[in-house]
Amino acid sequence: MQIGLLGPFQVTTDGGVVADVPGARLRGLLAALALQPGRVVPKSSLVDWIWGEQPPADAANALQRLVSRLRKALPAGTVDGLPDGYRLAVEPDAVDAVRFERLVRRARDGDGPQRVRLLREALGLWRGDPLRDVGLPDSPALDAAATRLERLRLAATEDRYDAEIGLGREADLIPELTDLAAAYPVRERLAMSLMRALAAAGRDTEALLVYQRTADALADALGVDPSPELSALHVTLLRGGTVRREDTRRTNLRAELTSFVGRDADLVAVGELVTAHRLTTLTGPGGSGKTRLATEAGRRMTGDLPDGVWLVEFAAVSAGGDVVQATISGLGLRDALLGDPGNAEPADRLVAAIRDRDMLLILDNCEHVVEQAAALAHRLLGECRRLRILATSREPLGITGEALWPVAPLGLPDGDATVAEVESSPAVRLLRDRAAAVRRDLASDAGTAMTMARVCSALDGMPLAIELAAARLRSMSVDQLATRLDDRFRLLTGGSRTALPRHRTLRAIVDWSWELLTDAERAVLCRLSVFSGGASLDAAERVCAGGAVEPGEVLDLLTALTEKSLLVAAGGVAPRYRMLGTIKEYAAQRLAEAGETNLVRHAHLAYFTELAEAAEPWLRRADQLTWLARLDAEHDNITAAMRGALAAGEA
């Protein structure tokens, strides 16, 4: 059972059901017990809580009746009766107010990052005013408890800002501190935190104005002068002294120009993986949003790591290039930190420079230097014990202990989704968000929403493809865009001028993956494009073999293409290999360029003709359900084979 007192009163049982605790006195009784979970609360204290200075004539019996009603509202065995009082039999952390106080006490003993993390967790438990909705009108004990909790909240907030300023996050805190200082004009700790943050950002004049406002508020409200600590800070600023940290730059992550849409659950999951594992790799096809997800996850963690979060981009490194030097440049390490270049190899000097740093290193776009990136990550993690690495790649780095998170396309609405469900789906939200930036007259009616859903489905929910489509809406309508996606590679070419060349057009995105394949992988990928609804291993071995590809090699090639995020292996016992629509169209074009389309389609037709002929006698026997299921799985392929035969005059 969970009891919420830090906001609207709420009781939730283990099954997630909200328990109804009706009546102000019943809620007041539960609140009094919940603030001391596992401990006996004297009957006299409970009477004071519930009735204040006007208890009933027979207070003991009235209290007993209330306890009886409370027991009926809560799970059995929750409220224990003892000779001198009553006890709530729940764990302390089951009550948010008690958990809040325990976290704040633990934070006092923690170091900088741990202290910030604990205080954030504690303050995150608050949902509103404490003991709200209890509703006891004349209970000084209840009012005192609520006041005490609110004071603890404010003190914990001040502790959090002090701790975060100690970690060098002054600039990020200025807006929050400005609002709080205005709300609590006589809280000197808030004023001092705001002054330090402003001074660290080079805004000394504003810091001096904060002091003056606080001094005036103290004089008007309390008739007192500022404390010696606040006055000393004021004098330091007047004399031109500095309270800035010389090294406040704790990340090289750029501020984003667009909103982050549709991946809130992924963001939480990646954060948990990075916390639990020292190496996490985000995998997925080109344009799936791996880099953006990695940087957003890193941005969230910057305040928790004393040495920050740093992005190293390998996109500009040529295949087989020097990833160590790229890392040194990305981290901005100076020669003074690296030592004499003649004394050691660059990798040794890099390890020496970051050996004791508690930081997150994001290695972006590792796929074309995956061997070198894997070797670098293995070396750094082995010798830098406080380092964590978050990599992005179209295939795993392949290191023992590596945690993987496949970055899937954005969620698409179901075929029978309502307009509201369509509008709230992640893919459509992204398209509308990006489209709104390029045209102001975008309609918000049901027809437009459904057309947007068609566009997103045609583009497989891939974020970069959706953004390229949104850019096209500068010069065409949503309906025109939807009808022209059959020629998507010619249509989607309006990427950002500052983006990587391979992210400016849809074809360039897939070209980049194509260039990283072997000839055998390319052949199998092209030949798979004739399948509809995916291919079984047996079918792929029959249809995709030929030339330099032996049937026995097909499984390894399918595995390699799956690892490189060009195929999806779906299913358990007998997986089927599928490809996204954009990849399939690209592969079909490459198959035509190779002059193999008719040959591979004929092999596809032959296989499924044989399958149908083999299935016929079994459809009247005991194994008919097994064969019907197999034919059902191949329904799209059989239909495609029949249509291909008709089109080729081989009916």
Question: Would you say 410 and 426 are in contact if contact means Cβ atoms under 8 Å apart?
Answer: yes
Q: Which two tokens stand for residue 275?
A: 């916390």
Those residues with Cβ within 8 angstroms of residue 515's Cβ, 6 or more apart along the chain or in another chain = none
For the record, the structure tokens of 597 come out as 């389309």
pLDDT tier, 168 (very low <50, low <70, confident <90, very high otherwise): low
Least confident of 64-68, 272-276, 351-355, 636-640: 351-355
Q: CB-based burial of residue 609 (10 Å sphere; 0-12 exposed, 13-18 middle, 19+ buried)?
A: middle
* pLDDT averaged over every residue in the chain: 86
- Nearest-angstrom CA–CA distance, 617 and 254: 65
- Residue 335: which pLDDT band, with cuts at 50, 70 and 90? very low
CATH fold, domain 1-165, is Arc Repressor Mutant, subunit A (1.10.10)
169-173, 203-207, 267-271, 396-400, range with the lowest pLDDT: 169-173
* pLDDT value for 200: 80
* Residue type, position 453, single letter: A
The predicted structure's pLDDT at residue 112: 67
Q: Is the pLDDT of residue 315 over 90?
A: no
Q: What is the pLDDT at residue 242?
A: 55
Report the pLDDT value the prediction gives residue 265, as an integer from 0 to 100.
87
pLDDT value of position 495: 65
Least confident of 207-221, 417-431, 461-475, 494-508: 494-508
Q: Is the pLDDT of residue 599 over 60?
A: yes
- What number of helices (H) and strands (E) belong to the chain? 30, 12
**DSSP state at residue 546:** B
pLDDT, one tens digit per residue, over 58-102 is: 888 888 898 899 888 888 888 888 888 888 888 888 899 999 998
- The model's pLDDT over 477-523, given as tens digits with 9 standing for 90+, comes to 889 888 888 888 888 886 676 666 767 788 888 888 898 899 999 99
Q: Judge whether residue 410 has pLDDT over 60.
A: yes
Tell whether the model's pLDDT for residue 334 goes beyond 70: no
CB atoms within 10 A of CB 632: 9
Q: Reply yes or no on whether the pLDDT at 344 is more than 80.
A: no
User: For the stretch 77-114, what's the b/e string if a residue is b when 16 or more beta carbons lie within 10 angstroms of its beta carbon?
Assistant: ebbeeeeebbbbebeeebbbbbbbbebbeebeeeebbe
- The per-residue pLDDT for 246 is 40
For residue 254, the model assigns a pLDDT of: 84
Res. 321 pLDDT band, cuts 50 70 90: confident
Which of 132-136, 305-309, 365-369 is modeled with the greatest confidence?
365-369
Task: Write out the DSSP string of 129-148.
Answer: STTBT---TT-HHHHHHHHH
- The Cα–Cα gap between 259 and 557 comes to 38
Sequence-distant (≥ 6) Cβ neighbours of residue 445 within 8 angstroms: none
- List beta partners, residue 40: 87
Whole-number pLDDT of residue 527: 95
The pLDDT value given to residue 343: 54
Q: How far apart are CA 130 and CA 9, in angstroms?
A: 9
The pLDDT, as a whole number, for residue 213 is 94
pLDDT at 391: 96
196 vs 498: which has the higher pLDDT: 196
Predicted confidence at residue 520, as pLDDT, reads 94
Q: Work out the percent of the chain whose per-residue pLDDT is above 90.
A: 30
Look at residues 380, 406, 268, 392 and name the one whose alpha carbon lies nearest to residue 324: 380
> What mean pLDDT is predicted for residues 436-455?
86
Across the range 302-322, mean pLDDT stands at 84
Task: State the pLDDT at residue 110.
Answer: 67
Does the pLDDT value for residue 535 go beyond 70? yes
φ and ψ of 315, to 5 deg? -60, -35
Mean pLDDT of 462-487: 88
**Between 397 and 355, where is the model more confident?**
397
Q: What is the mean pLDDT of residues 8-25?
A: 83
Residues with Cβ within 8 Å of residue 620, at least 6 apart in sequence: none
pLDDT bin (cut points 50, 70, 90) of residue 339 is very low
The fold for domain 264-406 equals Rossmann fold (3.40.50)
> Topology of domain 517-647, per CATH?
Arc Repressor Mutant, subunit A (1.10.10)
Within 8 A by CB and 6+ apart from 452, the residues are 422, 428, 431, 432, 478
CATH 1.25.40.10 fits domain 168-248: yes
- Record the tokens describing residue 348, joined without a space: 């040794």
The dihedrals phi and psi of 186, each to the nearest 5 degrees, come to -105, 10
| φ, ψ at 404 (rounded to 5°) | -115, 140
**Within 10 A of 252 (CB to CB), how many other CB atoms are there?**
15
Q: Model pTM greater than 0.75?
A: no
What phi, psi does 88 have (nearest 5°)? -95, 115
- The pair of structure tokens assigned to 106 is 């633990």
In this prediction, residue 278 carries a pLDDT of 94
Between strands 85-88 and 40-42, the pairing is antiparallel
